[in-house]
Structure 1
Amino acid sequence: MSQSTFDDDELFDEATSEMREEVEEALETARAELPEPDAVWEVEADNTLGVLNALKGALDVGDAGDHLREAKKQFVLGQRADAFEDADDLEDDIGELEALFGDIETAHGEASDLAATVPGLKSTLEDAHGDEEEA
């Protein structure tokens, strides 16, 4: 084999190119696994609890979080190794996805809280109305 095949600079350039591709692919996969907008907006249910449970299910990000984590790991590794000449776009994409994941997690938590609260509220209201009828 020729010496140029093992040139450190060439190998480094090749490795950084592959690392960037890995980050981009992981980000693309994370985006592809995000909930569909219509699944969050359009719901078929018979009651409020059904709507809330459907919303909780629609807000499940599944493996998308794992892909975002993988993208960020590769990005941090490349950044600390000073491997990327221009990584602002990757950093922006990761930041945007992290913010979106935060919003989705917040909405999921709020829907979960409401789904846990509504049945008890319904029961309490039924009791209150029952007391009115008895009086």
Structure 2
Amino acid sequence: MSQSGLDDEELFGEAATEIRADVEDHLASARDALPEASAVWDVEADNTLGVLNGLRTALAVDEVQDHLRDAKKWYTIGERADAFEDAADLENEIEAIEDVLDDLEDVSDAVGDLASAIPELRGELEEIHAEGDEGEVDEDDDA
């Protein structure tokens, strides 16, 4: 095969196009992996703990993180190779998904804290009320 058929500029252009396509694909996959707004707003559960556990499940971000990491990896390679003519759109989308991901992680942490605290609070309240009921029974017995 003749080397004249493989022009470096042409190969670089093809590689740049493929890298951009990879970044775009991973960003689309990250976007698709984000929870739907209804998943964090509409909840069906019998109690508070069920609501919190459902919300925590809806806020799962592992798949988003994986796709965003791959998008950033390919974006960084393309940027360092100066392969993109204009990558502002990619950079903006990466930042937007990162912002939402940060918010999801913060909310997920808060929901996890609440999911841990609510059963404990419930137990303390039941205990206090049980002690109060026992005190009322004791007073009735004395009369």
TM-score category by the smaller chain?
Answer: over 0.9
What TM-score comes out, normalization by structure 1 length?
Answer: 0.94
Aligned residue for 2:109, secondary structure, equals helix
- Hey, what's the Cα distance between the residues in 1 that align with 2:41 and 2:17? 39
For structure 1, list consecutive stretches of 5 or more residues without a partner in the other structure.
Answer: none
Q: Which residue of 1 aligns with 2:139?
A: none
Q: Which residue of 2 aligns with 1:94?
A: 94
1:36-75 equivalences in 2 (<5 Å): 36-75=36-75
Greater Cα radius of gyration, structure 1 or 2: 2
- Hey, what's the Cα distance between the residues in 2 that align with 1:5 and 1:14? 14
Post-superposition shift, 1:73? Answer: 0.1
Aligned residue for 1:121, secondary structure, equals helix
Runs of 4+ with deviation above 6 angstroms: none
Aligned alpha-carbon RMSD (Å): 1.2
What TM-score comes out, normalization by structure 2 length?
Answer: 0.89
- Hey, what's the Cα distance between the residues in 1 that align with 2:29 and 2:4? 35
Aligned residue for 1:83, secondary structure, equals coil
Q: Which residue of 2 aligns with 1:121?
A: 121
Q: Which residue of 2 aligns with 1:13?
A: 13
Q: Which residue of 2 aligns with 1:132?
A: 132
Post-superposition shift, 1:95? Answer: 0.5
- Hey, what's the Cα distance between the residues in 2 that align with 1:123 and 1:67? 41
Task: Give the aligned length.
Answer: 135
1:104 correspondence with 2:110? no
Identity percentage over the alignment?
53
Post-superposition shift, 1:3? Answer: 4.3
Post-superposition shift, 1:5? Answer: 2.4
- Hey, what's the Cα distance between the residues in 2 that align with 1:117 and 1:13? 56
1:27-42 equivalences in 2 (<5 Å): 27-42=27-42
AA partner of residue 41 (structure 2):
W
AA partner of residue 108 (structure 2):
H
- Hey, what's the Cα distance between the residues in 1 that align with 2:118 and 2:23? 42
For structure 2, list consecutive stretches of 5 or more residues without a partner in the other structure.
Answer: 136-143
AA partner of residue 66 (structure 1):
D
